[in-house]
Structure 1
Amino acid sequence: MQRLIQKAKDFNELVMFEHSIFSLPFIFIAMVVAADGWFGFGLLILGVLAALSARNFAMGVNRYADSDIDAKNPRTANRPNVDGRLDKSSILVFIIVNALVFIAVAYVINSLAFALSVPILAVLASYSYMKRFSSLAHVVLGVALGLAPIAGVIAVSAAIPLWSVLLSLGVIFWVAGFDLLYSLQDIDFDKDNDLYSIPSRYGADATLFISALFHALAVLFWLLFVWAAGLGFFAFVAAAGSGFVLAYEQRLVRRDFTQIDRAFFTVNGYLGIAFFVLIVLDRMVS
């Protein structure tokens, strides 16, 4: 029993389960707006299962593909995929199981979700290989998480309305923007190992500028989402308020690169939760 508990802890560390907080709020935002309120316990359970299995799949592929890179990087050398706690065959089984769970959940949800399940998994897996030949890896990560709102609205309405695309575009640029900030930690390592990150190719100043531009676009698309979905005051506060949060994140990193972890995990985590709470409030009072 103790061994099973330890294995569970190792897999939790492998995929950083707690970081699911980035994608879950925006799935539920899309579901709340699509349903114009509460969407039911059944879809809640299916939505959580789909989100967690998709993220576990993506993180599993990333760790499986990056074992050689992680082993060279002092920041990642203690990960379970590197230090021997989890071998490659175990990680591969983990990847396959989560892929099957995601496809099965999509099948239960509706035919459109099922038809898109494998293409979505392909997009999620592609991020792990992009950094080997393209600096667009940051945007691909954004696309991977930006699919979450699309998946949420498909689960409720089996359609992809304009507002969900705008919400998704906001998530794409939000994620790409904070991934750029996060990747500043590895700028020297990426240069030495010929990896295609924007910091290693264009430098820290260009990275900070592009990150800020991406975050400005994220706020713009979220404001357009509020307009296209016909939402109210609290939804507008959520979209506009995200601009102040992201400005604080940018300022935090510019002032001190040692604050990158705080900006990445804490600030972005609060942003997603606050955005969701305000959207729920908006639907309650409308």
Structure 2
Amino acid sequence: MGTTTEDNGRVFDAPSDNFVYSLLPRWLWPYAQLARWDRPIGWQLLMWPCFWSAAMAAAVTAEANAFRPGQFIAHLLLFFIGAVAMRGAGCTYNDLVDHDIDNQVARTRSRPLPSGRVTRRQAKIFILAQALTGLAVLLSFNVFTILLGFASLAFVAIYPFAKRFTDWPQLFLGLAFSWGGLVGWAAVFGSLSLPAMLVYLAAIVWTIGYDTIYAHQDKEDDALIGVRSTALLFGEKTKPWLVLFYAAMLALLVAACLVAGLGWAAFAGLLAAGVMLFYQIAVLDIDDGAQCLKLFKFNSRVGLVVFLGLVAAIFIG
């Protein structure tokens, strides 16, 4: 049980060698922890669907000899900033909603709110600051993309409560976390079409898969306090479900690339990503919390490989 870290300002399940603890003043540590800056995997996983969609849109423009490298780079930078800001705001909001639950879970009771290092009022002010940063990024795009970005807030608001009313909170996380699959395309074309929708759906099932692995870390505590998850729902049948989700992700991305008319490089990236995805399933031990966390984080590499294949498709087809 001894997981609180009020004496040293650290969080139990975050790496102690992160830049947060070497570069930021100590008074900022709790805010960095609320935003999960010491755990970059979250913003990375939020960012990849944005990057996939942006790269796919860029590859389509390249086929039409209308590729704008400056716009592509600028969009990637904006999506990076937006992912860090909005993931931080979402985590802070989630911690406010789950304040009492986090205090009952061994892995989370050392977080800033349950440990008392940040007040609820301070957390709310911090949400506002991060949300304004995200808004500044969103306002850099066309009107359609701005409206699309605001539409995502419905899923963002619902997600923290999903574990209380459904066995599928990972689905609601996917609906929110995958929105960049739509935004990246809309930022280029000012509209949506089938490839973007397929990328969005692919990112949703990917999210359900990797977050089910993540949720296996907390399944004992979740069962005790009545919190629901796909990890508890699937139990010993988790691996067959992961095969379904990861196969669906790959199939949807293959379909998106076909509809968009992309070349062989994009499919090579998907093949490599597929090997990485099914490696996770092969080695997964759902009763090993440390391994579950490691495999969850491994998905950022999967996202990178998919992205690199799409970038290659811009230049070599």
Please indicate, yes or no, whether the TM-score normalized by the shorter chain is above 0.5.
yes
Is 1:159 the counterpart of 2:179? The answer is no
SS at match of 1:109: coil
How far is the alpha carbon of 1:13 from its aligned partner? 2.2
Q: Structure 1 pair 5/221, CA: closer, same or farther in 2 (3 Å)?
A: same
Which of 227, 247, 260 is the equivalent residue of 1:195?
227
Residue 34 of structure 2 aligns with which residue? Answer: 14
Q: CA deviation at 1:178?
A: 1.0
Q: For 1:71-121, what per-residue CA distance to the aligned partner results, in whole angstroms no more than 9, with x for missing partners?
A: 100111111222122221111112222223323332331111222333212
Match of 2:80 among 48, 60, 73: 48
Of the three residues 119, 142, 152, the one matched with 1:110 is: 142
Equivalent in the alignment of 2:62: none
1:138 matched to which residue of 2?
A: 170
* Corresponding position of 2:53: 30
Letter in 1 for 2:142: N
**Which residues of structure 1 form unaligned runs of 5+?**
none
The correspondence of residues 51-70 of structure 1 with structure 2, limited to 5 A, is: 51-70=83-102
Q: CA offsets per residue over residues 118-171 of structure 1, 9 Å max, x none?
A: 321221121111001111211111111211121111122211121111111111
Structure 2: state its 5+ residue gaps.
1-21, 60-66
Distance 1:262 1:9, change over 3 A: same
Percent identity between the two aligned chains: 26
Q: What letter matches 1:114 in structure 2? A: I
Q: CA separation in 2, counterparts of 1:273 and 1:3?
A: 27
Closer/same/farther in 2, CA of residues 203 and 169 from structure 1, 3 Å limit? closer
Task: Tell me if the contact between 1:54 and 1:121 (Cα under 8 Å) persists in the aligned partners.
Answer: no
Q: Measure the CA separation in 2 of the matches of 1:219 and 1:109.
A: 29
Asked if the contact 1:102/1:117 (under 8 Å) is kept, the reply is no
Pairing of 1:256-267 with structure 2 (within 5 A): 257-258=288-289, 259-265=291-297, 267=298
Larger helix share, 1 or 2:
1
The equivalent of 1:236 in structure 2 is 267
1:169 counterpart = 2:198: no
Alpha-carbon separation, structure 2, partners of 1:199 and 1:26: 23
1:13 and 1:80 in contact (8 A); partners too: yes
Deviations 1:155-201 (A, max 9, x none): 2221112111111111111111111111112222111111121333x
Give distance in 1, aligned partners of 2:23 and 2:211.
34
C-alpha distance in 1 between matches for 2:77 and 2:308: 19
Measure, in 2, the Cα distance between the counterparts of 1:149 and 1:156.
Answer: 12
What is the alpha-carbon distance in structure 1 between the residues aligned to residue 56 and residue 243 of structure 2?
28
Q: Distance between the aligned counterparts of 1:44 and 1:276, measured in 2?
A: 11
**Cα drift, residue 31 of structure 1:** 1.3
User: CA-atom RMSD, angstroms?
Assistant: 2.1
Partner of 2:256: 225
Q: Distance in 2 between matches of 1:284 and 1:8?
A: 42
Q: CA separation in 1, counterparts of 2:83 and 2:278?
A: 28
Counterpart residue number, 1:205: 236
Q: Is the 8 Å Cα contact of residues 182 and 192 (structure 2) preserved in structure 1?
A: yes
Q: In the alignment, which of 113, 125, 129 is matched to residue 93 of structure 1?
A: 125
Sort the Cα spacing of 1:256 and 1:198 in 2 relative to 1 into closer, same or farther, 3 A.
closer
Question: Is the contact made by 2:138 and 2:149 (CA closer than 8 Å) also made in structure 1?
Answer: yes
Q: What TM-score, normalized to structure 2?
A: 0.82
| 2:109 counterpart residue number | 77
- Aligned AA for 2:276? V
Q: Is the 8 A contact 1:226 1:239 kept in 2?
A: no
1:214 aligns with 2:208: no
Q: Is the 8 A contact 1:199 1:206 kept in 2?
A: no
TM-score normalized by structure 1? 0.91
In structure 1, the residue corresponding to 2:140 is in which secondary structure? Answer: helix
